[in-house]
Homo-oligomer: A and B are copies of this chain.
Amino acid sequence: MKNQTLRIIPLGGWGEVGKNMTVFEYNNQILIVDAGLMFPDNDMIGIDYIIPDFEYVRQNADKVKGIIITHGHEDHIGAISHVLEAVNAPIYATPLTLGLIENKLNRQNFTEPIRLQKVLAGESVQIGAFKVEFFHVCHSIPDAVGLGIQTPAGLVVHTGDYKFDHTPVDNWPTDYAKLAEFAQRGVLALLSDSTNAERQGWTASERMIDSAFDQVFQDAKGRIIIATFASLISRITQVYDTAVKYDRKVSFVGLSMNENVKIAKELGYVDFDDRVVVPLDNALKMPDNEVVLIVTGSQGEPLSILGRLANGMNKRFDIKPGDTVVLSSHPIPGNEELVYRAINRLMDRGAEVVYEALAPVHVSGHASQEEMKLLLHILRPRYLIPAHGEIRMLKAQARLAESIGMEPEQIAIVENGRVISFNHGEMTIGERIPGGYVFVDGSGVGNTDQSTIRQREQLGNDGVIVLSLVLDAKDNAFRELKIQSRGFMTEEDSEPLFSELRSRVERLALSPSNNLERDLHNTARNLIYDDTRRQPVIFASVFHG
């Protein structure tokens, strides 16, 4: 007999719910939507990135009928290689998204055979028990889609990341007609992007940026260097268009910037003239007021092009007085210090720097409160599952929904791994399956845990000291104390302390002890703390030589 329950399980995303992966399950068939990664917080020391805990998917790998990726940002595609190692299922996505996925898997030297299924916004695909209708949404990358997922248990709409820009750069607004059609059929549940649920009003259109860019190009006397996300193809197009208007040549700097532009060009998302786009070497030889460089590093990352320019560590060119640098981006929470430091250092080097606080050179890719209300009014879903956000954002979207008439019982605010079931049109919030996050560190997935991170924190705080005491094999007399340290204090400053430690240990070795390693450790710890108020990690060993 058929199990007629539809189950929806948001998975993964450190701190955010349903951001990186969502699982739909009906009649023993599973559909995965998105497979992304998160970047670690500042205090998750040494962690490269974080992926969803998809143990549930791994254990039910044979039930997975397909993986849909809504758009090509890292928080939606970044964990694909990990998922593909566990699951052999086709990937459905629009052309640009597929291009970015392929590029990513190539860069990772992923060699397993994969099945990529191209779909276009407006098309429908039957994937197991799920009839999925892809509809276009505006976002800060082209070719983003939302999903209408029809099952015998009802129609679920998943927005993906979206906003309602009436004048997007590619002139392709979000598909209101499709949304209205869903509403006519009756929407059982809506999973909806909560990122900007705390932000009043309506997110500004990408078009607003044109006038800010105009002003920059009018004012700039020398080179213009614009930093933005490599995936923000529409922003790159706006820079290109302004460059054409002001008769400047454009050069792309940085691997991911060049790769993304190449993919977008091959797939026809941009139409850049080869007489306008020039290689960096040529651009650097041209008069300063005839070039625009588009670079990565708008988050101030020290190893990015912009970060290296700020620190004077870039290889092929440096910042010079007369340059105008534009940060066409918003600092991701946790990156504020890096971004502001980069701005200050660029100014120190004589550049004019234009950033969000000074001119409207960036807008968000996510819907604000009025757009969320509009979406709810168009779709009139029976249930709302605020998704893609920290709990404070989910709650903010819930409050909005209540302000326009939804009842609290119609809204499910859940944590990752919580199973939301729909049966005969009724929603039940059920058990919780593993749905947290997994740290990825080097090539290791999950073998760094919180206690390892706490140890790293201690190492990072005060450094490490390694003590090796060598005693004479025959008479146990003190022969040598080898002291090594790293990250403790400057060598010069530590010398008096270490020489005091040596003489104390020499005395210590004279007295009988039933645990000399412990005594060595304690002697060192106490002396160091009394003298410096620091608590480095201490390794103490005794050898008989």
Q: Which residues of A contact B (CB under 8 A)?
A: 15, 41-43, 45-46, 198-199, 333-334, 336-337, 340-341, 343-344, 347-348, 353, 355, 357-358, 390-392, 395-396, 415, 441-444, 447-449, 451-453, 455-464, 466, 468, 470, 473, 482, 484, 486-490, 493-494, 531-534, 537, 539, 541, 543-545
Task: Give the docked Cα–Cα distance between A94 and B544 (Å).
Answer: 65
Specify the chain B residue showing the minimal Cβ separation from A341: B15
Task: Give the docked Cα–Cα distance between A415 and B473 (Å).
Answer: 61
A13 to chain B, nearest CB (A): 12
| Residues of A contacting B: mostly | mixed
Contact A448 B489, CB 8 Å, known A358-B396, A396-B358, A461-B456: yes
A486 touches B537 (CB 8 A): yes
Q: What are the residues of chain B within 8 A of A494 when measuring CB–CB?
A: 447
A452 to chain B, nearest CB (A): 6
Q: Determine which of B451, B490, B544 lies in contact with A448 in the assembled complex, contact meaning CB atoms within 8 Å.
A: B490
Q: What are the residues of chain B within 8 A of A456 when measuring CB–CB?
A: 459-463, 487
Q: How many copies does the complex hold?
A: 2
Interface centre among A198, A462, A473 (most CB of B within 10 A): A462
B334 touches A464 (CB 8 A): no
Task: Give the docked Cα–Cα distance between A308 and B544 (Å).
Answer: 47
A460 touches B459 (CB 8 A): yes
Specify the chain B residue showing the minimal Cβ separation from A335: B336
A42 touches B533 (CB 8 A): no
Specify the chain B residue showing the minimal Cβ separation from A443: B533
A227 to chain B, nearest CB (A): 15
A543 touches B470 (CB 8 A): yes
Q: What are the residues of chain B within 8 A of A415 when measuring CB–CB?
A: 348
B459 touches A534 (CB 8 A): no
A532 touches B391 (CB 8 A): no
A392 touches B461 (CB 8 A): no
A459 touches B452 (CB 8 A): no
B490 touches A449 (CB 8 A): yes
Q: What are the residues of chain B within 8 A of A392 when measuring CB–CB?
A: 340, 343-344, 347, 353, 355, 357
B541 touches A468 (CB 8 A): yes
A-B contact list, 13 entries, CB within 8 Å: A333-B340, A344-B391, A441-B462, A441-B534, A442-B534, A443-B531, A443-B533, A444-B493, A452-B488, A452-B490, A459-B464, A459-B487, A482-B541
B442 touches A462 (CB 8 A): yes
Q: Determine which of B46, B344, B455 lies in contact with A461 in the assembled complex, contact meaning CB atoms within 8 Å.
A: B46
Q: What are the residues of chain B within 8 A of A462 when measuring CB–CB?
A: 46, 441-442, 456
B464 touches A537 (CB 8 A): yes
A481 to chain B, nearest CB (A): 12
Interface centre among A46, A449, A453, A494 (most CB of B within 10 A): A46
Q: What are the residues of chain B within 8 A of A453 when measuring CB–CB?
A: 487
A340 touches B390 (CB 8 A): yes
Q: What are the residues of chain B within 8 A of A198 when measuring CB–CB?
A: 357-358
A455 touches B486 (CB 8 A): yes
A298 to chain B, nearest CB (A): 15
Q: What are the residues of chain B within 8 A of A544 when measuring CB–CB?
A: 545
A486 touches B464 (CB 8 A): yes
Specify the chain B residue showing the minimal Cβ separation from A16: B344
Q: What are the residues of chain B within 8 A of A486 when measuring CB–CB?
A: 455, 458-459, 464, 537, 539
Task: Give the docked Cα–Cα distance between A50 and B443 (Å).
Answer: 36
B484 touches A539 (CB 8 A): yes
Q: Determine which of B41, B390, B459 lies in contact with A344 in the assembled complex, contact meaning CB atoms within 8 Å.
A: B390
A532 touches B442 (CB 8 A): yes
Task: Give the docked Cα–Cα distance between A449 and B493 (Å).
Answer: 11
A490 touches B460 (CB 8 A): no
A294 to chain B, nearest CB (A): 22
Task: Give the docked Cα–Cα distance between A293 and B390 (Å).
Answer: 26
Task: Give the docked Cα–Cα distance between A391 and B340 (Å).
Answer: 10
A25 to chain B, nearest CB (A): 26
A100 to chain B, nearest CB (A): 24
Task: Give the docked Cα–Cα distance between A127 and B337 (Å).
Answer: 39
